Chain A
Amino acid sequence: MNGKYAFARGLFPIFLFLTLLFPLPRGVGAAPLSVQVVGAGESRVNLLQADPVGGSARASALRKAVNDNLNLIPFIRLVNPAGVPGGAGVASAAGEGVDFKRFALAQVHLLITASWQGASQVELRCFSVADGRFMFGNRYAVGAGEKDLLDTADAFCADFLEAVIGRGDFFRSVMAFVKSDGAMKKDIWSMKPNGRNLTRMTNLKGEALSPAWSPDGRRILFTHIDKRSHGLGVCDTVSRTVQRIKFPGNTVIGPTYMPDGRVAVGLTDGRNPSIFLLGHNLQKERRLDESSAIDVSPSVDASGSLMAFTSGRLGSPQVFLKDLRTGSVRRISLSGSYNTDPSISPDGSLAAYARQEGGGHRIYVHDLVTGAERQVSFGPGSDEKPAFAPDSYFIAFMSTRAGARQLYVTTRNGGDAKRLPTGPGDASFPAWGPASRR
């Protein structure tokens, strides 16, 4: 982002119940928030962008782009401007003279204002409607192109999330996922979580599954299955080349990178698929599990010390946690007879997984410290393959709730899942890459 300065007034008091409903994670240096509970049982923030001050057509385009972005956030509900008595105009984007009562009557909790200086600079501010308090704001230099406008929207929305929940990585991240091109043809694609920069990363005969980003965001690992074999695919996102590596046993399931760039992956050595550690040269180093049952789907936290995985060692698939420093293993999915697809949060505090219930699967989040478990997806259809974002807050997953397989996002606390735009075709296996830093 270019030419931006912040004019937040110290520690802003955020109205609302956000901290109660969306508690900040332990050990993360997020700004402290003061809380005003608006109403018992409320789980969403009602948000409205006021009519922009100046800027004409570019202002309308930016307003739409910001709305499109914020509409992806599970706890935000966009308020229809037509519901505001007297309309959504404001006398001043800086807050002076704004009649916040009109917005309060329309049940607006957060009001965003935009003030354009010419066509290349805009100030965006956020106010608490309950008390008219200024929360934060930034000035953004906007380039001449449409892409520049969308970049500005992404930058503001990242700053907005940073202010509201202490994490802005959602709009700074990149995702890989699997997109179907018809029967027996699946490839790896990438995009920003809001659907921008949608790019095909592979175009292979056969089916690509289970993408995983390298810690530096340069490579994407994946399982590749053709007519007769499994392979470990390695896609270099810079050179746009793909390698395929076969392993004895002809099984490659659910690869993931370790924080040091090595790889954990399900391979067959003898009778059962087991989790192996591969070195930087992708050669086998050693097994990471010890059971004689199926062990697959490793997920490792950002410190490289905790690994969640699926194991059939108790007769049916369950999620286990291994401390890679001590070697201790414990079961963490304590209910249900079929729990799979673990994703450990990068901060190591939570593990999400899919539990089979009735006609499909649902996503649950297990607190690795307290042992508390929370259901965060509710179908219908089947919700599978949860993936924690780099901020350990958002969770993407695949769902058939609308028929075809599509990607959705919720949070560690649940909330209304929002569909991520992935274009035509089935989409599955979401995988977050590292967030870019300004």
Chain B
Amino acid sequence: MNKISAIRLLCLILALTLGIAAGCAKKEVGGGDEDDELAMTESERQAAANISNGIIYFEYDRFDLAAQSKDTLSRKAPVLKQFPQLRVTVEGHCDERGTEEYNLALGERRARAAYEFLLNLGVPASQMETVSFGKLHPAVSGSGEAVWSKNRRDEFKVAKPRY
């Protein structure tokens, strides 16, 4: 093996070693989603506001869509289809009364209910995602049905990702 080949081999071994080391390194969680988003134009900002406005609400321990919620979603669908570069995250939330893990599941079903309704209205799956926060992030603090009814909800967060 000549000198140049030896150096190349050494470099290759070094690169492989660094690669393996990087693969085993700590995969700490970070937010960082904002870094993957692009700035919106004025029309996109208006569209995003139209999608985000209009929270839909649910009955206690239920995830079926009320007629009013279907109307709200029906107004969001054409905007999403008109702006395919926008992506919506449907957030499912619950009131404080249930327990954490079951509420995460219930919130997922609430988010999924809106997702599927929008899908049936022709919004591409690639333009939507769901996430449940259960009872972690109440919109209103306190107790009582007036408060709880505001917290059993789907919120719609819009971003313009770097596809």
User: What are 28 of the A-B contact pairs (CB < 8 Å)?
Assistant: A204-B28, A205-B30, A205-B31, A206-B29, A206-B31, A224-B29, A225-B131, A225-B133, A226-B29, A226-B33, A228-B33, A228-B89, A228-B129, A242-B27, A250-B129, A251-B132, A253-B105, A253-B108, A272-B105, A294-B106, A294-B109, A296-B101, A310-B101, A340-B101, A340-B102, A341-B102, A356-B98, A429-B100
Further contacts, 9 of them, CB under 8 A, given A225-B133, A294-B102: A228-B33, A230-B131, A233-B29, A241-B27, A244-B28, A316-B61, A341-B99, A341-B102, A384-B99
Q: A209-B100, A271-B112 are in contact. Are A266 and B31 (CB under 8 A)?
A: no
Kindly identify, within residues 69 to 115 of chain B, every residue whose CB is under 8 Å from any CB belonging to chain A. 89, 97-102, 104-106, 108-109, 112
The reply to whether A241 and B136 form a contact with Cβ atoms under 8 Å apart is no
Residues of A within 8 A of B131 (CB): 225, 228-230, 250
Residues of B within 8 A of A228 (CB): 33, 89, 129, 131, 157
User: How would residues 18 to 32 of chain B score, 1 for a CB under 8 Å from any chain A CB and 0 otherwise?
Assistant: 000000011111110
Select the residue from B28, B31, B101, B129 with max chain A CB neighbours within 10 A. B101
CA distance A361 to B100 in the complex (A): 12
- Cβ of A159 within 8 Å of any chain B Cβ, yes or no, is no
Residues of B within 8 A of A250 (CB): 129-131
- Cβ of A354 within 8 Å of any chain B Cβ, yes or no, is yes
Residues of A within 8 A of B104 (CB): 209, 223, 251, 253, 266, 273, 296
Question: How would you classify the secondary structure of chain A's contact residues: helix, strand, loop or mixed?
Answer: strand
- Cβ of A338 within 8 Å of any chain B Cβ, yes or no, is yes
Residues of B within 8 A of A253 (CB): 101, 104-105, 108
The reply to whether B27 and A243 form a contact with Cβ atoms under 8 Å apart is yes
Q: Give how many A-B residue pairs fall within 8 Å (CB-CB).
A: 110
CA distance A184 to B134 in the complex (A): 13
CA distance A244 to B25 in the complex (A): 12
Residues of A within 8 A of B136 (CB): 184, 207, 225
Number of interface residues of A (CB under 8 A): 47
Residues of A within 8 A of B89 (CB): 228
User: How would residues 111 to 141 of chain B score, 1 for a CB under 8 Å from any chain A CB and 0 otherwise?
Assistant: 0100000000000000001111100110000
Select the residue from A205, A228, A230, A254 with max chain B CB neighbours within 10 A. A228
Chain B contacts to A: CB under 8 angstroms: 25-31, 33, 61, 89, 97-102, 104-106, 108-109, 112, 129-133, 136-137, 157
- Cβ of A430 within 8 Å of any chain B Cβ, yes or no, is no
The reply to whether B99 and A210 form a contact with Cβ atoms under 8 Å apart is no
- Cβ of A325 within 8 Å of any chain B Cβ, yes or no, is no
The reply to whether A273 and B29 form a contact with Cβ atoms under 8 Å apart is no
Smallest Cβ distance from B57 to chain A, in angstroms?
Answer: 20
- Cβ of A414 within 8 Å of any chain B Cβ, yes or no, is no
Top 5 nearest A-B pairs by Cβ distance? Answer: A241-B26, A273-B105, A340-B99, A294-B105, A243-B27
- Cβ of A268 within 8 Å of any chain B Cβ, yes or no, is yes
Smallest Cβ distance from B24 to chain A, in angstroms?
Answer: 9
Q: Residue A297 contacts which of B102, B129, B132, B137 (CB distance < 8 angstroms)?
A: B102
Smallest Cβ distance from B95 to chain A, in angstroms?
Answer: 12
- Cβ of A317 within 8 Å of any chain B Cβ, yes or no, is yes
CA distance A361 to B135 in the complex (A): 15
Q: A225-B133, A225-B136, A294-B106 are in contact. Are A338 and B98 (CB under 8 A)?
A: yes
The reply to whether A354 and B99 form a contact with Cβ atoms under 8 Å apart is yes
The reply to whether B61 and A227 form a contact with Cβ atoms under 8 Å apart is no
- Cβ of A58 within 8 Å of any chain B Cβ, yes or no, is no
Residues of A within 8 A of B61 (CB): 316-317, 338
Q: A204-B28, A206-B31, A268-B108 are in contact. Are A254 and B137 (CB under 8 A)?
A: no
Q: A229-B131, A251-B104 are in contact. Are A361 and B99 (CB under 8 A)?
A: yes
CA distance A268 to B112 in the complex (A): 10
